[in-house]
Amino acid sequence: MPRLRLAALAACLLLAGCGGPNLLPQPDLMTSPVILDEAAAAAAISRYRASHGLGPVAIDPSLVRAASLQAAANARAGYLSHEVGGTFDGRLRRAGFGGRYAAENLSAGSTTFEEVLKRWQASPEHNRNMLMPQVRRVGIARVDAPGSRYKRFWALILSDS
């Protein structure tokens, strides 16, 4: 009998180890996309880039869609991850982008674009992305998840093509 209990315990531990975090249900929070003034966001990023001697950026509808999908994936999950919606390279390929230079900034919690822009400027990695000299196109999105800890999820995708 003790051997049977030991075997059952070992089987449970093996199953628990194999499943990892996927055994726990993933949140699927209610979300709502927010309509942004994308042109104003691109103008603000362009002004910031100009203050560093860099060229302007333009809004790209395909990048807006890709950013929207990533912001929504993060909002549904209730946390920030560059991988929750698939790999960044895979998401860019699906959006039709094959450029050599691309980056993604994510954030959560900021109420306005001005607030999230300041956060990205204050973060060395996010700031470096916005100041990539090769960048010419951007897509920006915000998706709200009122039932989540952060409430608001942002995604900015920057690309050279």
pLDDT one-digit tens code per residue, 119-156: 999 999 999 999 999 999 999 999 999 999 999 999 99
**CB contact set of 140 (below 8 Å; sequence gap of 6+):** 36, 38, 41, 42, 59, 64, 67, 113, 154, 155, 156, 157
% of the chain residues with pLDDT over 90: 68
95 vs 136: CA distance, rounded Å? 16
What pLDDT band is residue 27 in, cutting at 50, 70 and 90? low
Q: Which two tokens stand for residue 96?
A: 């039709």
- Give the single-character DSSP code of 111: S
pLDDT value of position 14: 31
Rounded to an integer, what is the distance from CA 24 to the centroid of its chain? 22
Could you give the 3-state DSSP secondary structure of residue 68? helix
pLDDT value of position 33: 83
Domains and CATH numbers, the chain: 55-159 (3.40.33.10)
89 vs 51: CA distance, rounded Å? 29
pLDDT one-digit tens code per residue, 40-79: 999 999 999 999 999 999 999 999 999 999 999 999 999 9
